[in-house]
Amino acid sequence: MIYKPYKNIFLSRLGLGNMRFPTTDKEGQHIDYEKAHAIIDAAFENGINYFDTAHVYNNTDSESCLGECMKKYPRDKFYLATKYNIGAEKDYKGMFEAQLKRLQTDHIDFYLIHCLMDSNIEEYLNSGCIEYFLEMQKQGKITYLGFSSHASTKTLERFADHHQWDFAQIQLNYYDWHFGATEEEYNILTKRNIPIMVMEPVRGGKLSTLTPDAEELLKKSRPDASISSWAFNFVKTLPNVLVVLSGMNDMSQIEDNIKTFSTTDSLSPAEIDILMEAIELFKKQYTAPCTSCRYCTPNCPMKINIPEYLRVYNKFKLDGAWALGETKWIQSDGTPADCIMCGSCMNHCPQSINIPKYLKELAEAMEK
Ligand code: SF4
Ligand code: SF4
């Protein structure tokens, strides 16, 4: 395991995210402690010393599970990170005390304001919770105070300027770097000397398997490297990244990731170019390359708002089923289920998109 100095400690470059453990119930409220502890123990034994959880993970059971497992290890050999989520609990004082108990510790090493968004920044700033956590830091119950963000860059800048935060956690991976606003977020934090903990380095597993042509390109360049290792090496290469979190939930993932983080090997500029080429190929095949030109819509007898449904389809493919909720807001006379597969739209699509095929897949996902 490779480490990076931070203040007066050394953090493992790979951290264990504790949000994807196997559970004993369908609702995901109760973790299978035996299986989860085997993963946490393997991580610790392989040199990982950063363990990230939150009270909202598995309805607080993730914190309890982690605390129960780590109590057998010397407290100065690992670092605990947990978070306060104002949307789930208003009583930040009560929550903080409960977290110390669940984690079986007298201090939290890395404490985060959880999931900053445009919709909750005012609540976080006005609730008094930040002042309280700064006080806890003075008292030694919190060592480093930071925040995690899913906010727009404008909100991120505003929150980052609140005071000198010790660290911040953002979603960072080569897909969002290339197609989203991640590079700008990275620069906002770097300019303010706020080191970064990375979440979603493989975008919830989506970057572990690419399309065959994209994988072939990567395999040609590094035949023995796994597809996931490209994603980890990309984030590892960025100088302001401290710890890269991975929600590993089986031993093969741990082994592969440990291998990636056993060397300081990083991607060369030429390899980053290859990666960007691969992600373009992946996006083209994995999602519908719709440009919203709307040439297709006047030709649909079922009056389906095709580009809007394809936009949601793409989000669904990349981000998962939660994105389907957006179909509720689409203004359209017809829905994907109404498509009669006449093919009339395809004759007018300059991108040669197989529109009925995508709509059928979307309709089936919405039905589920
Ligand atoms: S194939 Fe479906 S979406 Fe395309 S024009 Fe026909 S009904 Fe409309
Ligand atoms: S014609 Fe093709 S590219 Fe244009 S909006 Fe329709 S599906 Fe999208």
pLDDT in tens, 157-192: 999 999 999 999 999 999 889 888 999 999 999 999
- From CA 146, how far away is CA 132, in angstroms rounded? 13
> Mutate which of 284, 287, 295, 330 to test ligand 2's pocket (most atoms within 8 Å of Cβ)?
295
Q: Whose CA is nearest to atom 3 of ligand 1?
A: 339
The per-type count for the chain, helices as H runs and strands as E runs, is 14, 10
Nearest CA to 82 among 69, 96, 68? 96
- What pLDDT does 205 receive? 81
Q: Whose CA is nearest to atom 7 of ligand 1?
A: 339
Q: How many CA atoms lie within 13 A of 3 on its CB side?
A: 13
- From CA 180, how far away is CA 162, in angstroms rounded? 25
- From CA 77, how far away is CA 50, in angstroms rounded? 10
Nearest CA to 205 among 13, 63, 20? 20
Is residue 27 packed enough to be buried (19+ CB in 10 Å), middle (13-18) or exposed (0-12)? exposed
Architecture of domain 3-278: Alpha-Beta Barrel (3.20)
* CA separation, residue 287 to residues 316, 344, 353, 354 (Å): 9, 21, 10, 11
- DSSP letter (8 states) at residue 327: G
Sequence-separated (6 or more) residues with CB below 8 Å from residue 242: 4, 6, 11, 13, 167, 195, 196, 197
- C-beta neighbour count of 136 within 10 angstroms: 19
- C-beta neighbour count of 57 within 10 angstroms: 24
**Is 306 near ligand 2, meaning CB less than 6 Å away?**
yes
Q: What is the pTM of this model?
A: 0.83
The position carrying tokens 């979190």 is: 245
| AA identity, residue 75 | R
If you compute the radius of gyration of the chain from its CA atoms, what whole number of angstroms results? 22
- What pLDDT does 358 receive? 95
Q: Which residue stretches of the chain have pLDDT < 70?
A: none
Domain regions of the chain by residue span: 3-278, 297-367
Which residues lie with the beta carbon below 6 Å from any ligand 1 atom? Answer: 299-302, 304, 306, 339-345, 355-356, 359
Of the bound ligands, which one is closest to the alpha carbon of residue 360?
1
Q: Whose CA is nearest to atom 2 of ligand 1?
A: 339
**Is 6 near ligand 2, meaning CB less than 6 Å away?**
no
For residue 348, give the ligand 2 atom closest to its CA: 1
- From CA 10, how far away is CA 78, in angstroms rounded? 10
Q: How far is the CA of 297 from the centre of ligand 2 (A)?
A: 8
**CA triple 103-110-77, angle to 5 deg:** 70
